[in-house]
Structure 1
Amino acid sequence: MSSTSGDGRDRDTEGRARNARPRDGLGRPLPYGTDGVERQPEGVVRTPEETVVEAQALLEAGKPFHAHEVFEDAWKSGPTEERALWRGLAQLAVGLTHAARGNLTGGARLLRRGAGAVEEWGAASGRSRPYGLELPELASWARKLAEVVEQDERAVDAEAWAPRLRGGKA
């Protein structure tokens, strides 16, 4: 729960800063009072299966910012040896977010960084398909999208470019 403090900032019940502004499907803030997309709850501990299923649904709905938050929860709450995997997946989702918002340079960088991270994690762990995730295909998708963004020099449709986490195109 959030409230506005005397200084006009959004705070939770314990006084920590929280941004209660509504957001669109790409996580951009909207004016107060506007109907936005329901935000992902923070700090949710999910199984890897739940994480992949929820993130895939959000990606397919054109909400990569929200998928990034799901991956971020897994990164922060998961086993230490898997944190780099989930962080890399979060980078892929936020890279798609930036590419869809029109931040082409940042989007391409994050897509390539995420691709490298998931490949590196797969090589270090000896697992290229943890939880059914197709890490080689995801890395290839991210690099292709980075090239498209740089060549076309325009924002992409997040829903149209949603990856299949478990292989193939969404």
Structure 2
Amino acid sequence: MSSTSSGRPAGSRDRDSEGRARNARPRDGLGRPLPYGAEGVPRQPEGIVRTPPETLAEAQALLDSGRPFHAHEVFEDAWKSGPAAERTLWRGLAQLAVGLTHAARGNAAGGARLLRRGAGAVSEWTARSGVRDPHGLDTAGLVAWARNLADAVDGGAAGTVDPAERAPRLRGGA
């Protein structure tokens, strides 16, 4: 059997311990795959159950360090493991983080679309639940931040988006 330059058999797929397909290539700070053997940033472990305050603290630290892709993974864990009544909220927050990721990667159209979709999900959840600032989240500030950044990215005014500089404040103003 031939092998790839990485030493893996040609045609083989990376798999996790349970046999699910997983890309084991290292990733950069914005989650883009790097060549096998390259030095990447540590990946967020998946499937971690955190309390909402733990989720928000970890996601904020990742956003502040310019790693919105990794913050998206933290929000995704909350979306998948949290109460069904909050899934739309956590999914919306994950979309905001991945929208910032795409904007920082230079994908203006995808970034703007995901920022607006995430803002819509957070707004929808807030309207349906009647809870304005769950877990101390500044939902109005996050929605405004996302829509403003989406408009700036769409219109070209944002230029190159630095994810750390443009990171939202999850609590207390975006």
Contact 1:5/1:11, CA 8 A, preserved across alignment: no
Which residue number in structure 1 is paired with residue 171 of structure 2? 166
Structure 2: segments with no counterpart, 5+ residues: 1-7
Equivalent residues in 2 for 1:60-99, closer than 5 Å: 60-99=64-103
Which residue number in structure 1 is paired with residue 37 of structure 2? 33
Q: 2:21 aligns with which of 17, 22, 25?
A: 17
Q: Distance between the aligned counterparts of 2:95 and 2:168, measured in 1?
A: 13
Residue 8 to residue 155, structure 1, CA distance change in 2 (3 Å)? farther
- After superposing the two structures, state which structure 1 stretch, 31-40 or 12-21, moved more: 12-21
Helix, strand or coil at the partner of 2:15 = strand
Residue 128 to residue 5, structure 1, CA distance change in 2 (3 Å)? farther
Question: Displacement, 1:167?
Answer: 2.2
Q: Distance between the aligned counterparts of 1:41 and 1:19, measured in 2?
A: 13
Q: Distance between the aligned counterparts of 1:21 and 1:118, measured in 2?
A: 32
- CA-based RMSD of the aligned residues comes to 1.3
Helix, strand or coil at the partner of 1:45 = coil
Q: Under a length normalisation based on structure 2, what TM-score does the superposition of the two structures give?
A: 0.91
Residue 22 to residue 48, structure 1, CA distance change in 2 (3 Å)? same
Question: Displacement, 1:168?
Answer: 2.3
**Structure with the greater alpha carbon radius of gyration:** 2
Q: Distance between the aligned counterparts of 1:57 and 1:5, measured in 2?
A: 38
Asked whether 1:45 is paired with 2:49, we answer yes
Q: Under a length normalisation based on structure 1, what TM-score does the superposition of the two structures give?
A: 0.93
Question: Displacement, 1:6?
Answer: 6.8
Question: Displacement, 1:12?
Answer: 1.7
Helix, strand or coil at the partner of 1:72 = helix
- After superposing the two structures, state which structure 1 stretch, 154-163 or 138-147, moved more: 154-163
Q: 2:153 aligns with which of 141, 149, 156?
A: 149
1:7-29 CA-partner distances (Å, limit 9, x unpaired): 33111233221111000110000
Q: How many residues align?
A: 166
The AA in structure 2 aligned to 1:168 is G
Question: Displacement, 1:5?
Answer: 6.5
Q: Distance between the aligned counterparts of 2:18 and 2:76, measured in 1?
A: 22
Percent identity between matched residues is 71
Q: Distance between the aligned counterparts of 2:101 and 2:87, measured in 1?
A: 21
1:63-115 CA-partner distances (Å, limit 9, x unpaired): 00000000000000000000000000000000000000011001001101111
- After superposing the two structures, state which structure 1 stretch, 142-151 or 53-62, moved more: 142-151
Which residue number in structure 1 is paired with residue 110 of structure 2? 106
